[in-house]
Amino acid sequence: MPHRFITSTAVAGILVAVVLLAPARVATQAPAGARSAGTSTATAKTKSWTVARTPDGQPDLQGFWNNTTYTPLERPKDVTKEFYTREEALEMMKRAAEVEGEQTEPGTIADVHYDFTQFGLDRSQAPLGLNLRTSLIVDTPDKRLPPMTADGQKRAAARAEARKRMGAPTDAVQNQPLSVRCILMDRDGPPMLPGAYNNNYQIVQTPGYVMILVEMLHDVRIIPLDGRPQLPQTVRQWEGSYRGRWEGDTLVVETTNFTDRTAFQGSSENMRLTERFTRVSEDTILYRFTVDDPATWTRPWSAELPMNKAIGPLFEHACHEGNYGLYNTLAGARAEEKRAADEAAKKSSK
């Protein structure tokens, strides 16, 4: 992981460069008293700011970036407006950080408890931008996922039934989610959504390619920009087949050919994803993605969030190499089963 920025506000430990996302523009500013070493000092996009160019004339997106946020993908059901005030957003973040810091809920592997905060991995200790939107989804009426189609509902029910037939998560490695098995995580995507920690990326550009290195699982996407076709439909990949192009100052990446195991938010393998990366200030990239999957949702939908400049380098995230928790979870389950069987045998022998 890169250098962590440990900062604080009243209770939650949040130091933010405020990112105000309005429908027609992106303006950024730092709240009073929020400037310190290690904090991204956001600069509002003005007419005087000009995006830097690479030697081949493309907008320079290179560097280290972080997309950590407490803003949920979908608008909470008890919220009825599109934007918080700055004060409301800070309060929401403070409450979310307090809950995260308490670590009252178990981790993702069975009922194992992970205290990420003791390692400086909670979101409040990252380069954190305050998104005044109440959701990352921006273009549906209620800022939530669109209704599922009949096919999408049928597929979701079939997947749920298949999970039941597989048995308990502790019965076999294959019963665990892809993230627990260190195969694919939300940070990798695509689309790239932040998790509780390790939400860092490095972008490198060369003529004809853009490389995005993801801290989580140290996955790499090498995106060609030469107009080559996508892979044949018979070739399916965890992260799909991706091709990029420039539309003005925006990098556009189209991804298809997902697997039926990826299932982003319940999607089908035929989901088409369009990502857009636009440098809007010296220390901010606006990341927007659109999901188009008629087999799952009644309409396409889009989400957006800022990527804030971070400090590198990124160090290798050794998930498989250090995934002792999964082994211990399964071993513990077998030990519990053996103990239960031994006790049952003793009772039956009396």
pTM of the model: 0.81
Dist CA 48 CA 59 (whole Å): 16
**Domain definitions of the chain by residue range:** 16-309
Contacts (Cβ under 8 Å, ≥6 apart) of 189: 239, 264
Residues 249, 231 contacting (CB under 8 angstroms): no
Among residues 67, 55, 74, 91, the alpha carbon closest in space to that of 19 is found at 67
Tabulate helix, strand, coil % of the chain (nearest 5): 20, 25, 55
pLDDT tens-digit profile, the chain (350 residues): 444 433 344 333 443 444 444 333 333 333 333 322 233 333 344 458 899 999 999 999 999 999 999 999 999 999 999 999 999 999 998 888 887 776 645 444 444 455 666 666 667 666 677 789 999 999 999 999 999 999 999 999 999 898 888 888 888 888 888 888 888 888 888 999 998 888 999 999 999 999 999 998 888 999 999 999 999 999 999 999 999 999 999 999 999 999 988 889 999 999 999 999 999 999 999 999 999 999 999 999 999 999 999 999 988 888 876 677 788 888 999 999 999 999 999 888 87
Contacts (Cβ under 8 Å, ≥6 apart) of 142: 75
